[in-house]
A and B are shown apart, each in its own frame.
Chain A
Amino acid sequence: MTPGMKKYKLKTGYTELVQCLLQKGKNVIAPKYSGRTLLFAKIDNAADAVLPDKYVNTVRSAKEFMFPVTEPIVEFSYGNKDVKVFDPVVEADEKIIVGLRPCDAAAFTVIDDIFNYEYKDEFYFTRRRNAVLITFACETSDEACFCTSVGLSPESPQGSDILFKKNSSGTYIAYTNSEKGEMVIRQAEELFEELTESEEENNSIYEEVSRSMRKPLDTVKIKEWLDKNFESTKWDEYASRCLGCASCAFLCPTCHCFDIVDEVKYEGGLRRKNWDACQFPLFTLHASGHNPRDIQSKRYRQRVMHKFKYYSDRFNKTLCTGCGRCVRSCPVNLDIYQVVSEITMEGVENE
């Protein structure tokens, strides 16, 4: 465990924890069903928050609470003579995001780097500062999960303010990882008690989950191959079946590309930052009409390169936390794990 982490025992269940936070007037975000779709949403009634042992993961990651699907970055309105420009108000209220998975919490620590690269994105960091991330270790996984392949595990504390794990008798133990996490524990102190030395903490379930997952990837070897194979017929082969739908990028907790558009209505308007994806031809279309990534194989290559090479060149991190959303959502089952493990297999030519 990371030094400085403190441990507490949760005396109640998950719903009571959510209930308690709500009673304290907290803004709680947790996985909740909208029809058949499990999404992070504001919780008004603790019973709506789906229990962490009842899902593998949400359809969309929690990145939209730091980096929304669409957000205004400038507001403007026409006066009598001139245009007035305003900074939008970024909601700075505290959000407690409960029920995250380790892969999603870790994703924030990965994309923090890019949002702080050359220019600090205050829209992102204002929300980031005001969000408390409360993670629940995974008691189940599905076939698409591969966090263990990219250096994480079903119980990684990376990025979480508090990580909850069940001990073998089914009691949740909270491991705080930051002052923000400690604060939440203090605010809900009636639910927690200090963990005594003698108490059982371990639970083999997390190791079992790890073992059931896909075999670890050799990210070093992958990068070596990518370093040498910007031009490879492999890209055509993989991309030939890609529909270019970008479900992978939209659901990815680490994909962070956006488009900027101006929208005008009546006597004013907004400049907005919208999610965008490298899988669209429009993403790189120049005003001249030239498109450097004019075919899908170049766009698919970009996706894989960005995840396993470019990001690692720049920040020494893999832009993937193995949440498996891209694998689950791809309509044609183009599986990035399969792709990157295949390219590192013996016999795949280095061109």
Chain B
Amino acid sequence: MSNDIRQIAHALLSEGKVSSVIGYAEGSLKGRVQTLIAHTAREAEKFIFNENCVNNLAVYLTKSYGLINKDKPAAVFLKPCDIKSVTALIQEHQLRREDVFIIGLSCQGVKNGNVMAGKCMGCSIHNPQYYDAIVGETVEEKEPGISDPFAKVKEIENMTTQERWDFWMEQFDKCIRCYACRQACPLCYCEECIVDKTQPRWIESSSHPIGNLSWHLIRAFHLAGRCTGCGECDRACHQNIPLSLLNMKMGKEIFELYGYRPGMDTEAKPPLTEFKMEDSEEFIR
């Protein structure tokens, strides 16, 4: 598969079809891969794809990296799940379709460290659905490895209010406000994050209980109906705060109430930017 990857990257760059190719290269540690942004065909030989390619490269398509809005598109290697992030970026007008050349990769699940990544357990799309080119053999679509991807969310839902509060307070207590979760997220593309706003100061930037709770509530809610579940926030959090549980809960509620799944359709309107007359209002007096 690595051969096919190098070939297509080489072809795209040498034919001058793209301005850069974003992909994976060997990492410096066992089980880790590095990002490689190739601008010349010569660099294409370093590209790889293997079970350690857990990173979601869609993050490099946000404006701050300066790889898009060129006269030629940027090509990027994306797993089927990563393509959802690109879909969401196009949907939210952060990226023009013609600015990206999606090279879809068929994927049978990747590893995070020594174990299969959490996002892969509940995965049911193993072949790219939306792409400009595809690399590698089509793999057999298989049922998710776990019966209920929301099992952990439900576990928390079944706790008492006090238990839930205690659970999250213990988790948020570990937060040192490095915002690695935000930086790793392809959909946290705001040029000025609300947490960095100082006039007025919406969220206290200090790592104390109030600041931490507000940050995590706001981060989760700003991703409601948008998060595609790539799990990069979880992976970036060195304190192991289960951030994606909050995102999954938001996704679950959005689906139950409005029947919407993020990252599936570039033309769909995100659920919190539209409404229906008949939306539920059982909680309103």
Residues of chain A in range 233-262 having any CB-CB distance to chain B below 8 Å:
240-241, 243-247, 249-251, 259, 261
Encode contact with B along A25-42: 1 for CB under 8 Å, 0 otherwise. 000000000111101000
Option from A37, A69, A244 in Cβ contact (under 8 Å) with B177:
A69
Option from A59, A327, A332 in Cβ contact (under 8 Å) with B239:
A59
**A71→B34 CA distance, assembly (Å):** 36
**A67→B185 CA distance, assembly (Å):** 29
Q: A37-B239, A241-B35 are in contact. Are A327 and B29 (CB under 8 A)?
A: yes
Residues in chain B near residue A329, CB distance under 8 A: 180, 238
Q: Which size class do A's interface residues fall under?
A: 35 or more
The 10 A-B pairs with the shortest beta carbon distances in the complex, nearest first, are A245-B183, A245-B180, A241-B35, A250-B178, A335-B28, A70-B206, A69-B207, A333-B27, A329-B238, A331-B236
Option from A39, A247, A261 in Cβ contact (under 8 Å) with B236:
A247
Residues in chain A near residue B182, CB distance under 8 A: 245
**A278→B177 CA distance, assembly (Å):** 14
Segment from A44-52, A158-166, A269-277, A311-319 that makes contact with B: A269-277
A282 within 8 A of B: yes
9 chain-A/chain-B pairs, Cβ below 8 angstroms: A60-B239, A241-B37, A245-B178, A246-B178, A275-B176, A275-B178, A331-B236, A332-B55, A333-B28
B184 within 8 A of A: yes
A263 within 8 A of B: yes
Min Cβ gap A245→B in Å is: 4
**A36→B27 CA distance, assembly (Å):** 24
Q: Are A245 and B176 in contact (CB under 8 A)?
A: no
B232 within 8 A of A: yes
Residues of chain B in range 155-212 having any CB-CB distance to chain A below 8 Å:
170-171, 174, 176-180, 182-184, 196, 201, 204-208
Q: A70-B208, A241-B37, A251-B238 are in contact. Are A34 and B176 (CB under 8 A)?
A: no
**A335→B206 CA distance, assembly (Å):** 28
A126 within 8 A of B: no
Q: Are B178 and A247 in contact (CB under 8 A)?
A: yes
**A332→B240 CA distance, assembly (Å):** 17
**A296→B178 CA distance, assembly (Å):** 16
Q: Are A69 and B29 in contact (CB under 8 A)?
A: no
A337 within 8 A of B: yes
B275 within 8 A of A: no
Encode contact with B along A316-350: 1 for CB under 8 Å, 0 otherwise. 00000000000111011111011000000000000
Option from B30, B33, B65, B179 in Cβ contact (under 8 Å) with A240:
B65
Q: A37-B174, A60-B176, A241-B37 are in contact. Are A282 and B196 (CB under 8 A)?
A: yes
Q: Which B residue's beta carbon lies closest to that of A338?
A: B28
Q: A246-B179, A247-B238 are in contact. Are A240 and B37 (CB under 8 A)?
A: yes
B32 within 8 A of A: yes
A144 within 8 A of B: yes
Which residue, of B30, B174, B176, B178, has the highest number of chain A Cβ atoms within 10 A?
Answer: B178
B59 within 8 A of A: yes
**A244→B62 CA distance, assembly (Å):** 13
Q: By the criterion of a CB under 8 Å from any partner CB, how many residues of chain B are at the interface?
A: 39
Min Cβ gap B279→A in Å is: 37
A143 within 8 A of B: yes
Q: Are A34 and B235 in contact (CB under 8 A)?
A: no
Residues in chain A near residue B201, CB distance under 8 A: 261, 263
- Residues in A lying within 8 Å of B, measured CB to CB: 34-37, 39, 59-60, 69-70, 143-144, 240-241, 243-247, 249-251, 259, 261, 263, 272, 274-275, 277, 280, 282, 296, 327-329, 331-335, 337-338
Residues in chain A near residue B207, CB distance under 8 A: 69-70, 274-275
Q: Are B205 and A261 in contact (CB under 8 A)?
A: yes
**A240→B208 CA distance, assembly (Å):** 33
Residues in chain A near residue B196, CB distance under 8 A: 282
**A60→B37 CA distance, assembly (Å):** 30
Q: Are A241 and B183 in contact (CB under 8 A)?
A: no
Extra contacts, 6 of them, besides A261-B201, A274-B205 (Cβ < 8 A), are A35-B170, A37-B174, A37-B240, A251-B238, A282-B196, A327-B28
Residues in chain B near residue A333, CB distance under 8 A: 27-29, 32-35
Min Cβ gap B36→A in Å is: 8
Residues in chain B near residue A263, CB distance under 8 A: 201, 204, 206
**A332→B34 CA distance, assembly (Å):** 6
**A263→B34 CA distance, assembly (Å):** 40
Residues in chain A near residue B55, CB distance under 8 A: 331-332
Q: Which B residue's beta carbon lies closest to that of A243?
A: B183
Min Cβ gap A149→B in Å is: 13
Q: Are A250 and B176 in contact (CB under 8 A)?
A: yes
Q: Which A residue's beta carbon lies closest to that of B175?
A: A69
Residues in chain B near residue A240, CB distance under 8 A: 37, 65
Residues of chain B in range 218-251 having any CB-CB distance to chain A below 8 Å:
232, 235-236, 238-240
**A263→B201 CA distance, assembly (Å):** 9
Residues in chain A near residue B30, CB distance under 8 A: 143
Q: Are A69 and B176 in contact (CB under 8 A)?
A: yes
Q: Are A245 and B184 in contact (CB under 8 A)?
A: yes
**A331→B231 CA distance, assembly (Å):** 12
